[in-house]
Amino acid sequence: MSHRQQHEQGLKALKEKEGQVWEMDPVAKHVGNPEERPAAVVSQKASSSAAPIQPTLPEGDESTSKAYLYSKFLLNSQIRKKTTDLVKFLSFKYTRNEPVTEADILKNVVQEYKDYYSLIFKHACECMEVVFGIEIKEVDAFNHSYELLKILDLTYDGRLSEDEGIPRTGLLALILGVIFMEGNRAPEKKIWEVLNMVGVYPDQHDFICGNPRKFITEDLVLEKYLECKLVSRSYPPTYEFLWGPRAHAETSKMKVLQFFSKVAGSNPTSFTALYKEALKDEEERARAILASTSIASPSAPDNSGSGEKPSSFSHPK
């Protein structure tokens, strides 16, 4: 399977994951999209374990049916709003380096929608992983206590300061994944196509990204995670993105593929060609580390029986 086919397979999986949000509430399809749509991608596990809204239209006149649909639409909108509120709450906890408990969430966020706690919590956790690269890990099963951990070891997380903002490592990992799947260089259009699936749009400012276009085309380029190149002979001018030197230094194709696969609800081995390339990249990295270690730590010469002193060694620059 070619890189292009692998990429289309990944996008299809991601689209199916997004579609499951709407499959859980058929009413939303008939009435229309709610105004507030949190940037969440829901897994099959979430849709099966949560309490989905499955309306059955009551018998009666047309006005009764419309009222029923509208009431269900309002409920769906409130659940989406609660999901967004929970993402903000978890983000606040992360910036304060504080654990969070189920009791905290029920009291401060979910409140009267406790019957839908499982659904709201699952959606919010997916959003935290996909957008922010933060895993919600249970550390106390009895008290349902959780800690918030970064998934990837990237030194730059997009925060304005240590005390302001939350990491956007997940978005960076998604972008790196798209570039990898596109054959190690991706048109800007493709990147926005994927980000749109998780609720991120170039000119839609929000608490998650601030200014998404600036974050991707300027901030990540300035931080050397991405390289932005003008496509030769393109009119109007179009751009493509490649991994920058800092991305190559801090992460790997395998780690990014694992992250992207998790978001898409798949397995890295499902992308056969990409997985093989990632394995090859891991082997090359291992050989490079081994070679540098050998150079930096040469075996001491045997000076027994000789008055010669071992020669000094300086690290290559």
pLDDT value at residue 49? 36
Confidence of residue 80 (pLDDT cuts 50, 70, 90): confident
Sign of the four-CA dihedral 259, 260, 265, 267: negative
Confidence of residue 210 (pLDDT cuts 50, 70, 90): confident
Q: What percent of the chain has pLDDT over 90?
A: 23
In CATH terms, are 18-150 and 169-294 the same topology?
A: yes
18-150 topology per CATH:
Arc Repressor Mutant, subunit A (1.10.10)
Is residue 173's pLDDT more than 50? yes
The larger pLDDT score, comparing residue 60 to residue 260, is at 260
pLDDT value at residue 150? 82
Question: Per-residue b/e over 263-295, b at no fewer than 16 CB within 10 Å?
Answer: bbbbebeebeebbebbeebeeeeeeeeeeeeee
The larger pLDDT score, comparing residue 80 to residue 292, is at 80
Write down the domain spans for the chain: 18-150, 169-294
Distance (Å, whole) CA 171 – CA 275:
21
Q: Give pLDDT tens digits for 128-154.
A: 888 788 889 999 888 899 998 887 778
Q: For 120-124, which contacts have Cβ atoms below 8 Å and span 24 or more sequence positions?
A: 120/79, 120/82, 120/83, 120/86, 121/86, 122/42, 122/43, 122/45, 122/46, 122/49, 122/50, 123/21, 123/38, 123/40, 123/42, 123/46, 123/83, 124/38, 124/40, 124/83, 124/86, 124/87, 124/90
pTM (2 d.p.)? 0.65
- Which homologous superfamily does the CATH classification assign to the domain defined by 169-294? MAGE homology domain, winged helix WH2 motif (1.10.10.1210)
Is residue 266's pLDDT more than 90? no
